[in-house]
Amino acid sequence: MDPRRGVLPDTDVLVRGATIESVGKQLRAPAHATVIDAAGALLLPGFVDTHRHMSETALRGVGADWTLGNYFQWMVQKWGPLMRPEDIYAADYMGMVDAVNDGVTTVTDWSYAMLTPEHADAAVDALTAVPGRARFAYGNGLAPDFGWVVDGRVDRMLKNRFTGRRDQLVTMQLAMDVNSPTDDARKALEFARDRDLPVTTHAGVFGFTGDAQIEFLAGTGSLSPSYTLVHAAALTDDAYRIIADSGAQISIAAESELNGGQGYPPTAKARRFGIPVSLSLDTVAWWSGDMFSMMRATLNADRGLAHLRAHEAGKAVENNALRAHDVLEYATMGGARALGLDRLIGSITPGKRADLVMLRTDTPAMTPTSNPVGQVVFQAGRGDVDTVMVDGRVLKHRGTLVGADLRRARRLIEESLEYLRSKIPDREWEQAMNPPPGATARY
Ligand SMILES: [Zn+2]
């Protein structure tokens, strides 16, 4: 993912402390160095997820058949408000362990359910308890307005928990769904600009937010390369032009958009208008926490639509426009760029932090390996993730977590699910997993 280097065969990587010191053939390691034999394996930069609602981890898998309307009806309106600070802690802790195990070395916790300052503290406690890299995107989307942004709790969090240095393992930004052009929203955006705090917003969601939101955000001077628009799917070309001119990023969650119905994954639009793309998985309440699925869903969506459009015109696509290399870039450097961390992570480059993922190639799924990038994208899975390093520290080795406590994570998340289930009527729980006709919420 370092364009000056490309894919290098038979190469060593020397890590000193938290940093990649050198990349080259037959490097001499210091006598005391730990040597990890990566012969025949693939080493890639860790994946970066730019949008994951980690508070929903206890409800993993329940939304397999949901549309976005179903998600709002159960997750946002009914279950989100049930979460106690300890539920947030358990969800974020398990979410971090899941991310590390899957090779997602940086995960953005799009924390829309920070009902009280105690909830936010619990999230940050959990994100820092597991030594992966995370971005705490502070949000309180269940509140009716943006008073929470300016009432002191965000400043307190910044002062007490964050140094402002980007090389902290956990950094902070704001997660705000600015849907209407209110004075409150204007003040909250101004607050973020004053403090140089990056912001992320769900945008271009069919039936929910459209061009007007993009025009409003641009009008306040808020859109910039540090602003990430999630989905950005159901928009007109005018809005994509505004986004491109501002330098803002989009986070595409293809599995979410294809199943939920927020809009079609806008990879072709991003290509046409030159908008930088990162990938995200949205929530494990629907699908898995790994980026292999996201890369595949992104390619499938882009190519499938191109073929369909061509066939409708009686033609065939000659060559696929979106390549495996492009989506691997979205999943690594693209994410690093969106989080303003591209000088620190996203590629295997001397001087950057050692956030690395080693995939085995002697598994049945990866043998033989002729096309490294193509096979990472279309063949590899979580079972091939052998070793994961974050900030120079080995957190998974030989397929086993060594720097994250899975047993504790499991105990906490099971206790949390037990509590949540005690608050959710059986009928509601059953209906949620098998949405009956007419059950979809209006929004
Ligand atoms: Zn989302």
Q: 379-418, pLDDT tens digit by residue?
A: 999 999 999 999 999 999 999 999 889 999 999 999 999 9
| β-sheet bridge partners, residue 397 | 400
31: amino acid identity, one letter:
A
Q: Rg of the chain over CA atoms, in angstroms?
A: 21
Closest among 77, 44, 64 to 259, alpha carbons compared: 64
Residue 308 alpha carbon to ligand 1 centre in Å: 27
Distance (angstroms) between ligand 1 centre and the Cα of 211 equals 18
d(CA 36, CA 8): 17
Report how far ligand 1's centroid is from the alpha carbon of 284 (Å).
Answer: 11
Sheet containing 227-231: order of strands:
47-52, 104-111, 133-138, 170-175, 199-203, 227-231, 249-252, 277-279
CA 4 – CA 100 distance, rounded (Å): 27
Q: Which stretches in the chain have pLDDT values below 70?
A: 439-443
Pairing of strands 133-138, 170-175: parallel
Distance 263 CA to ligand 1 centre (A): 13
At 443 the pLDDT is 47
Cα separation, 259 vs 287, whole angstroms: 10
What is the residue whose two structure tokens read 């809009």? 263
Structure tokens at 138: 């502070």
Measured in Å, residue 278 CA sits from the centre of ligand 1 at 14
pLDDT at 355: 98
| Number of neighbours of residue 410 by Cβ within 10 angstroms | 13
Answer whether 443's CB lies under 8 Å from 207's CB.
Answer: yes
Q: How remote is the CA of residue 283 from the centroid of ligand 1, in Å? A: 7
d(CA 109, CA 280): 11
Q: From the CA of 255, how far away is ligand 1's center (Å)?
A: 11
Ordered domains of the chain (ranges, CATH): 12-45+350-401 (2.30.40.10), 47-338 (3.20.20.140)
Q: What is the DSSP string of 134-146?
A: EEEEE-BTTSSSS
- Nearest to 330, CA basis, from 381, 278, 259: 278
Q: Among candidates 110, 36, 42, which has minimal Cα distance to 338?
A: 110
Distance CA 166, CA 440 (A): 41
What is the CA(352)–ligand 1 centre distance, in A?
29
Residues 227 and 217: their CA atoms lie apart, in Å, by: 10
Question: What distance in angstroms lies between residue 365's CA and the mean position of ligand 1's atoms?
Answer: 31
Ligand 1 center–CA 419 separation, angstroms: 24
Q: Which two tokens stand for residue 50?
A: 């730019």
Task: Report how far ligand 1's centroid is from the alpha carbon of 205 (Å).
Answer: 10
CA of 52 to the centre of ligand 1 (A): 7
Distance CA 410, CA 397 (A): 20
Ligand 1 centroid – CA 439 distance (Å):
21
Q: What's the CA-to-centroid distance between 377 and ligand 1, angstroms?
A: 23
216/203 Cα distance (integer angstroms): 12
**280 C-alpha vs ligand 1 centroid, how far in Å?**
9
- Ligand 1 mean position, distance from CA 53 (Å): 6
> Going by C-beta distance under 8 Å and a sequence separation of 6 or more, which residues neighbour residue 62?
74, 285, 429, 432, 433
Partners of residue 202 on adjacent β-strands: 230
Task: Report CA-CA distances (Å) from 303 to 42, 57, 261, 407.
Answer: 26, 31, 18, 41
The pair phi, psi for residue 282, each rounded to 5°, is 80, -70
